[in-house]
Amino acid sequence: MKTILCFGDSLTYGANPVAGGVRHAHEDRWPGALEAKLVGKARVIAEGLGGRTTAFDDWLAGVDRNGLRILPTLLESHGPLDLVIIMLGTNDLKPFLARTAQEASNGMRQLVRTVRGHHAGQGLAVPKIIVMSPPEISDTDHPEMLGHFGGSAAIEQSKLFAKWYRQRAEEEGVAFFDAATVAKPHPADGVHLDAANTRAIGEALVPLVSELLGL
C-alpha cells in the first residue's frame, strides 16, 4: 500500500466557512475523499493547519504556522512516503506576510526542495510531489475575512496562483494541479470551502495520483 502525505492549511484541515460551523467530516475533507476513491490502494495522511503559510512567520499565531520549518519533522514522523501533495499559499497573501502569489510560489519551491533533500539525505527514494494551487479567494459579506487577507488585492493575487505554481512545478520537474478548476470558496467568508467543494478536490486528484503512483 502506498503512503501519501497531504500538507496544507485550513482547506486541508476541513475548516467550515460558516461562522461557528463544525469541522467537515473526515470523508468530506479532500484527503479523505482521495483515500476513499483510491479504494484501499493508498493510506492518505491529512496534515492541515489553519493559517499555515508556505515559508513565512505569523507572529500573531499561538502555534508555528511556518510550513517550511515544520515540514522536515512531518516527513520524519510519517515517512517513508510515496507521494507528497502540497496545497499552501492562501495565507501568504495576508498583508503582513508575503502579499503576492509570486512570493507564495517561491515558498512552495522551497517546500519541494525540502521534501527532496530530506529523503535524499537519508538515502530514501524521493517521493513523487504534486504542487497544488489553492482555490481563488472571492468577495464576501463577512465583516472581517476579506480585509484580513488584504481586500480586493488578495482576490486578484489569488487568481495568479495557478500561473506561478505551474511555473514552479515545471521548473522543479514535479506534477501540478489547479484546485480552482474544481472548487470555489463559500460566500460565507470567501476563503473556506463547503463540504462538496473540498470533497471535489480529492476526487479530482484521483487520475493524477493514480498515474504518478502506478495504481
Question: In this predicted model, what pLDDT tens digit does every residue of 4-31 receive, in sequence order?
Answer: 999 999 999 999 999 889 999 999 999 9
Quick check: 160 and 88 in contact, CB under 8 A? no
Q: Give the whole-angstrom CA distance, residue 7 versus residue 46.
A: 7
Structural domain boundaries, residue 125: 2-213
Q: What is the predicted pLDDT for the residue at 86?
A: 98
The per-residue pLDDT of the chain, averaged, comes to 96
Q: What is the predicted pLDDT for the residue at 159?
A: 98
Q: What percent of the chain is predicted at pLDDT more than 70?
A: 100
CATH code: domain of residue 196: 3.40.50.1110
Residues in the chain: 215
Q: Give the whole-angstrom CA distance, residue 192 versus residue 121.
A: 36
In this predicted structure, the answer to whether residue 123 has a pLDDT above a threshold of 90 is: no
Domain count, the chain: 1
The C-alpha angle with vertex 164 and arms to 159 and 170, in degrees rounded to 5, equals 140
Q: What is the predicted pLDDT for the residue at 142?
A: 87
